Structure 1
Amino acid sequence: MSYVDKTYYKDSFGGTIIQDDHIEQKLERSSDQIDTITYNRINSKGFDNLTDFQKDKIRKAVCIHADFIEQYGDYINMPLNGFSAGSVSVNFNSKTFNGVSTTQEVLNYLNQTGLTCRRI
């Protein structure tokens, strides 16, 4: 189950990175990984039972993470986190939380929901 649909991604979030024929797939994969980051608390509580504030932050996190997957999917699971060639150096600066590589922005949104705390 995806917490965001194509309409939300394009109209409300203003997403333009994911091609139309891949949007639903990327949003569902992103939602699955957001569930992993939040210890499946969204799923267990039921998305509709969350506060409007939590839903808003989760939707934004799903969209940002879906864009991240689309842009950097080939590099997410690489054993290298960077490389250098002459004077050019490239580093991949993702964060790993609960086994999922994502951006700090996604984690910031999810942390605001209170669903990523290990003590709950």
Structure 2
Amino acid sequence: MAYFPYATLSDYLGISDSRCIEQTKVASKLKQASRHIDSLTFGRINRYGFDNLTTFQKDIIREVTCRLADFEYENEDLIQSVLSSYSLNGVSMSIGNTWNVYTQNGVAISKDLYALLCQTGLCTGLAGV
């Protein structure tokens, strides 16, 4: 069974402010972001069916998919690092839940994007359509 991302190249070009992803890589990055959104929403989008969601929910999911693809592309090295923190000459850095990044089920997402995704009602234990 084929897996279709929640956003298309056309969506990406219309939504993304940075358009930092090369066009040849956009489809795979949107697919990866869609799978991560499935993790963040506990598979509810697949269970309910994307077409059965409200227009409001679909619009948010498309936007978050495009913006998450950009976030993951721009921060790929940091996200894929096996280190959770490091320190060098008195300067330290932590990876994980920080003031601007939220991690859940192994997925890192900016907190503003996660807050936007939560507006769909699909991220909590009491989600409904």
Partner of 2:49: 46
Letter in 2 for 1:103: S
Letter in 1 for 2:57: Q
Partner of 2:102: 95
2:108 and 2:79 mapped to 1: Cα distance? 7
Looking at secondary structure, tell me which structure has more helix per residue.
1
Identity of aligned residues (%): 36
Is contact 1:60-1:109 (8 Å) kept?
Answer: no
Letter in 2 for 1:78: S
**Partner SS, residue 103 of structure 2:** strand
Is contact 1:15-1:63 (8 Å) kept?
Answer: no
TM-score by length of 2: 0.81
Partner of 2:126: 119
Partner of 1:37: 40
Shift of 1:73: 1.3
Partner of 1:20: 23
Specify which of 76, 81, 89 is matched with residue 78 of structure 1.
81
Partner of 2:115: 108
Is contact 2:16-2:67 (8 Å) kept?
Answer: no
Letter in 2 for 1:45: Y
Is contact 1:9-1:15 (8 Å) kept?
Answer: no
1:73 and 1:12 mapped to 2: Cα distance? 20
TM-score by length of 1: 0.86
Shift of 1:13: 3.8
**Partner SS, residue 113 of structure 1:** coil
Q: Any gaps of 5 or more consecutive residues in structure 2?
A: none
Q: Pairwise CA RMSD of aligned residues? A: 1.8
